[in-house]
Amino acid sequence: MSRRVLVLNGPNLGRLGSREPEKYGTTTFAELVGVCEKTGAELGFEVEVRQTDDEAELVGWLHEAADDRTPVVLNPAAFTHYSYALRDAIAQRTAPLIEIHLTNPATREEFRHTSVVAGVATGTIAGFGLDSYRLALRALTSLDS
């Protein structure tokens, strides 16, 4: 039986492929979903990928994960830098949660250098493009829930 993992994505990630391809690449969100599902299946996970531009919806998904003890791979996107609501939802986690980013925020604009969610995440993976997702899913295989 495979273990369920939620891969949650914040604002603007649904526009991958057309949004600033020089920073985020040309892979579409649909292709990202395929990569996550394939990698998850190889690792024995049932992966469900979601994306929202709505902070409240993302908080609700994190509550769902906490209630169900579901591991999470989270790309909070812009919410990374200022969403204390997201931070507080992550603090309620009952299973591993890995914060990920396609790019390395530390090499970008100064306002991106601070993550308000990193302190309550199990760990952070950033700067490896789509491989950030693959690496996070692999990391879940060795983490206790």
CATH number at residue 89: 3.40.50.9100
Q: Is residue 24 among the annotated active site residues? A: yes
What CA–CA distance (Å, rounded) separates 7 from 137?
Answer: 9
Q: Taking residues 15-19, report their average pLDDT.
A: 74
For position 18, what pLDDT does the model report?
65
Among 11-15, 113-117, 123-127, which is the least confidently predicted range? Answer: 113-117
For position 145, what pLDDT does the model report?
47
Q: Chain centroid to CA 88: how far?
A: 16
For 70, the token pair is: 């579901």
Averaged pLDDT score across all residues of the chain: 91
- Asked if residue 95 is part of any domain, the answer here is yes
Q: Is residue 101 among the annotated active site residues? A: yes
Please report, in range form, the residues annotated as the binding site for substrate: 75, 81, 88, 102-103, 112
CB atoms within 10 A of CB 97: 27
pLDDT at 2 over 90: no
Q: The dihedral of CA 13, 118, 58, 4: what is its sign?
A: positive
pLDDT at 10 over 70: yes
- Asked if residue 145 is part of any domain, the answer here is no
In sequence order, the 6+-apart residues with CB closer than 8 A to the CB of 121 are 74, 90, 97, 98, 99
Confidence of residue 43 (pLDDT cuts 50, 70, 90): very high
Q: Chain centroid to CA 134: how far?
A: 11
The total domain count for the chain is 1
Q: Taking residues 45-49, report their average pLDDT.
A: 98
Range of the domain at 25: 3-140
Beta bridge partners of 7: 49, 73
Please report, in range form, the residues annotated as the binding site: 75, 81, 88, 102-103, 112
pLDDT at 1 over 60: no
Q: Taking residues 124-135, report their average pLDDT.
A: 95
Q: Could you tell me the CA-to-CA distances from 88 to 57, 71, 92, 106, 118 in Å, in that order? A: 14, 16, 7, 23, 11
For position 82, what pLDDT does the model report?
85
- Asked if residue 72 is part of any domain, the answer here is yes
- Asked if residue 67 is part of any domain, the answer here is yes
Confidence of residue 121 (pLDDT cuts 50, 70, 90): very high
